[in-house]
A and B are shown apart, each in its own frame.
Chain A
């Protein structure tokens, strides 16, 4: 799914300042806890979170995630957006709740990722 579709489906606002429309994401995960997100194995993915600090971008960077969506109407911190622009990781914000955001994307065909290191 292209990020311009994600933007439309979530009625989101893009906060970063570089081209994003044609970037593809293959899967998504949603978590406010970054250690949970770090167990997510998919690259070229999308992270939905309510965590409004630069660690959401650091986590995305480590995981090769190309877009972070801030849910629940949060306005991203300046430090978060600045780091995201530097790392070329797209940041969007949406007024939708976490559950609704995940549901809308899932319904539109974006799946959850596999967890290759899961213990069972």
Chain B
């Protein structure tokens, strides 16, 4: 299988459309016949990242690389960045506003959930410049 590459825009402040990019990737993975448990955890990891981009970072881009035995998702934003990545990886820690919590997010589970669902996670963030998440899921892991 050739490596398939996709790019999706994640729109800023469009909460109704948040998750559309993850849904499109999930559809592609299902069409390609990946195992359902793999598709589910890949989709959940990307969805959590996509929601973070809408909540915290005025949107961004999602570059997705689909190979026979792995999926690599690179989420890039030009948001405020993460001041303390170790703190952000702790369950329950969140800077989300009350209005975001009313929308069902901001429980401080986003990054920890991404880590649990993925096989590799790299977080590159510069305060004031933006954040890049590189999420890799492997077919034969977990």
Q: Residues of B contacting A101 with CB < 8 Å?
A: none
Count of residues in B whose CB is under 8 Å from the partner chain:
28
**A55 CA to B16 CA in the complex, in Å?**
7
Q: Are A35 and B105 in contact (CB under 8 A)?
A: yes
Q: Are A58 and B36 in contact (CB under 8 A)?
A: no
Q: Residues of B contacting A7 with CB < 8 Å?
A: none
Q: Are A38 and B113 in contact (CB under 8 A)?
A: yes
**CB proximity to B under 8 Å, residues A66-98:** 79, 87
Any A CB within 8 A of the CB of B109 = yes
**A62 CA to B48 CA in the complex, in Å?**
10
Any A CB within 8 A of the CB of B124 = no
Any B CB within 8 A of the CB of A53 = yes
Q: Are A55 and B18 in contact (CB under 8 A)?
A: yes
**A32 CA to B104 CA in the complex, in Å?**
6
Any B CB within 8 A of the CB of A64 = yes
Any B CB within 8 A of the CB of A23 = no
Q: Are A61 and B23 in contact (CB under 8 A)?
A: yes
Q: B111 → chain A, closest Cβ, in Å? A: 10
Which residue of chain B is the closest to A64 with respect to CB atoms?
Answer: B40
Q: Are B47 and A43 in contact (CB under 8 A)?
A: no
**CB proximity to B under 8 Å, residues A35-63:** 35-36, 38-39, 43, 49, 51, 53-56, 58-59, 61-63
**CB proximity to B under 8 Å, residues A1-49:** 32-36, 38-39, 43, 49
Any A CB within 8 A of the CB of B56 = no
**A62 CA to B110 CA in the complex, in Å?**
14
Taking each of B16, B26, B51, B104, which has the highest tally of chain A beta carbons within 10 Å of its own beta carbon?
B104
Q: Are A56 and B104 in contact (CB under 8 A)?
A: yes
Known: A51-B104, A63-B44; 17 extra A-B contacts, CB below 8 A, are A32-B104, A34-B104, A35-B105, A35-B107, A35-B109, A35-B110, A36-B107, A43-B37, A53-B15, A54-B16, A55-B51, A58-B22, A58-B23, A62-B19, A64-B40, A119-B91, A119-B116
Can you list 13 A-B contacts with CB-CB less than 8 angstroms, sorted by A residue number?
A33-B101, A33-B105, A33-B107, A35-B110, A36-B109, A38-B44, A49-B104, A51-B104, A53-B15, A53-B103, A58-B22, A62-B43, A87-B23
Residues of A at the B interface (CB closer than 8 Å) are 32-36, 38-39, 43, 49, 51, 53-56, 58-59, 61-64, 79, 87, 117, 119
Pairs A-B, 9 closest by C-beta atoms: A58-B19, A35-B109, A117-B116, A51-B104, A35-B107, A34-B104, A62-B43, A33-B107, A62-B47
